[in-house]
Copies of this chain bind each other. A is one copy, B any other.
Amino acid sequence: MPTKTPPAKSISLSISDRLAARIADGDLMAGDRLPSEAELALQFDCSRATVREALKRLAAKNLIRTARGHSGGAFVADLTYAAALDSHVATSMLLLSMNAVDFQTAAEARFALERACVDLAVAQHDRADLRALKDAINRLASRCTDEAFCAADVAFHRALVDAGHNPVLSYQLAGAVEAMQPLMNMITYADRDRETIIRLYRRIAGALQARDAGEVRHVLDELEALMIALFQRGQARRARR
């Protein structure tokens, strides 16, 4: 009996797939309102509960948003960079933690990605970008917890990435950098380490202002080596106890 009954995909799954395809194809455009749950139930010949499960899945993927009330309903969401970034970061974080990615691999990837935006950042940055970089450095220089230090660290790198003025690149890079923050948080920084890092960051900001891409890349190399060394030192210390 070659009638296709593969893994018997559930009804709600096939509904969400069909709606997702219509959105991806541009058949349903951002802002469009989907039929009401009751209408969809009629169209797909199933119950409202089943339709709702399908809609929840789409909502989880940021494909639709729902509003209650008289003229509420499900609307095709206009996917923003911010929303996409959130889910990208969440997924990447889970991926890194679940696959036990070692620090060296993560750091290697992170700095490789960061170097990808150097040329653009050097060419495109403006005064606001330099300001953002310096704000982040100032926050780093203030006494703060390791977590706050790492958060400011992320802000610095984020500013560097954004200086390329390419939203697509920012989206990809910022997601990767932020996803690695939990790993970076495993580093405990001594005061003199912080000073070293801040010095490197100032050199990056300076080189960027001077539009010296080679120097920026060079400092990033140093930074990467430093990070890995700090992590390994911390690991050795943990092992000794």
Chain A 6-29, CB-CB to B under 8 Å as 1, else 0, gives 000000100010000001101000
Of A89-97, A139-147, A192-200, A231-239, the stretch lying at the interface with chain B is A89-97
Chain A 90-131, CB-CB to B under 8 Å as 1, else 0, gives 111111111101000110110011011101100000000000
Contacts of A167 in B (CB 8 A): 99, 101, 105
Contacts of A30 in B (CB 8 A): 98
Contacts of A62 in B (CB 8 A): 91
Contacts of A91 in B (CB 8 A): 61-62, 79, 84, 87-88
> Is residue A201 within 8 Å, beta carbon to beta carbon, of the partner chain?
no
A166 and B52 in contact, given A93-B24, A112-B117 (Cβ under 8 angstroms)? no
Contacts of A99 in B (CB 8 A): 79, 81, 167
> Is residue A136 within 8 Å, beta carbon to beta carbon, of the partner chain?
no
> Is residue A49 within 8 Å, beta carbon to beta carbon, of the partner chain?
yes
Q: Do most interface residues of chain A lie in helix, strand or loop, or is the interface mixed? A: helix
Which residue of B has the minimal Cβ distance to A93?
A: B24
Q: How far is the CB of A32 from chain B (nearest CB, A)?
A: 12
> Is residue A60 within 8 Å, beta carbon to beta carbon, of the partner chain?
yes
Chain A 27-68, CB-CB to B under 8 Å as 1, else 0, gives 000100000000000000000010011101111111100000
Interface residues of A (CB under 8 A from B): 12, 16, 23-24, 26, 30, 49, 52-54, 56-63, 78-79, 81, 84, 87-88, 90-99, 101, 105-106, 108-109, 112-113, 115-117, 119-120, 164, 166-169, 171-172, 175-176
Q: A63-B94, A87-B87, A92-B171 are in contact. List 9 more A-B contacts (CB 8 A).
A: A16-B60, A56-B57, A57-B57, A61-B61, A84-B92, A108-B168, A109-B169, A112-B117, A113-B169
